Amino acid sequence: MKNLKAQRGMSPVTLILILALAGFLGITGLKLLPFYLDSMKIDKAMAGLIEAGGLGSKSKREIQDMLIKRMDIDAVDAVTYKNYKELIKVTKNKDKVTVSIVYTSETPLAGNLTILADFDKFVEN
């Protein structure tokens, strides 16, 4: 059995490594947070669109406009007035309407490292 004085706790090197790892994970989490906040806002806007009802009588363009207005109010950064026509797809079959959004978000992490997140969302009434 080793001497108890040698087993008193972690060494300074171990403490520095643990703090560095915690810092890296914290920074990465803070960089990812806006992606998932946007994702939740988009989910909310899409659910609100379906709850509003009456989509069967609207054109695809009107549905896109309704959705982008909801996302603009919530300040969604991933889908904007510049790119919503490419990202928001509306499919209509009789009275069934499907709205899908496929988008990618990215942010620099450190140096030449980038965090990339792909999202694929859809709702139907």
Domain locations along the chain? 34-124
Q: What is the pLDDT along the chain (125 residues), one digit of tens a residue?
A: 567 666 677 888 999 999 999 999 999 999 999 999 999 999 999 999 999 888 888 889 999 999 999 999 999 988 888 998 899 999 998 878 999 999 999 999 888 999 999 999 999 88
Structure tokens at 68: 């982008």
What per-residue confidence (pLDDT) applies to 16?
A: 95
The 10s digit of each residue's pLDDT in 29-48 is: 999 999 999 999 999 999 99
